[in-house]
Amino acid sequence: MSVVETIVPTSVPAVFEVLADGWSYAGWVVGASHIRKVDLGWPAVGTRIYHSVGPWPLTIQDTTVVRAVDRPNHLELRARLWPVGAATVTLELAALDDETTAVRMTERVVAGPGRLLPQRVQALLLGPRNRASLTRLTDVAVGRARARR
């Protein structure tokens, strides 16, 4: 399991706005290369993002589904990358003040060969990618907030 955290210098609603925009997924999730479709109502429970992962021409097409949501503080996803496996990804947002958000991202491999790896090995493999994803999420959220001002 990988747990990474960051502080985002904008509000919780501004950060969640990025998470609620399924079309922005490839802009902040490291490895996602293309969004093919986003279900209407994203991020309602059961809705999906249809994405491609990896560099062309070696892309894998799969989906991510919303498993739980509590706007604007919690989003739980099941991200598939078959045949590699699937992971549960949880994003938790907490206000530190009106314009500062703590974001915690937890990822746990739940299916496929990666599930057999010890938790510490999963953390070593997933941690750097997830830290980079939170850096990208920060950049997108802050950029959107500035553009609105």
Structure confidence by residue, pLDDT tens digits, 97-125? 999 999 999 999 999 888 888 888 888 88
Give the chain's domain count. 1
Q: State CA 34 to chain mean position distance.
A: 14
**pTM score:** 0.93
Domain that holds residue 82: 2-31+67-148
Q: Is 133 among the domain residues?
A: yes
Enter the DSSP assignment of 56: T
The helix (H) or strand (E) run that includes residue 85 is strand 85-97
Q: Is the pLDDT of residue 95 over 90?
A: yes
Task: Provide the mean pLDDT of the chain.
Answer: 94
User: Is residue 43 in a domain?
Assistant: no
Q: Considering the domain boundaries, does residue 114 fall inside one?
A: yes
Confirm whether 46 is domain-assigned.
no
Over the stretch 1-50, which tens digit does the pLDDT of each residue have? 899 999 999 999 999 999 999 999 999 999 899 999 999 999 999 999 99
CA distances to 11, 81, 138, 146 from 100, in Å: 5, 33, 11, 14
Question: How does 101-121 read in b/e, with b if 16+ C-beta sit within 10 Å?
Answer: bebebbbbbeeeebeeeeeee
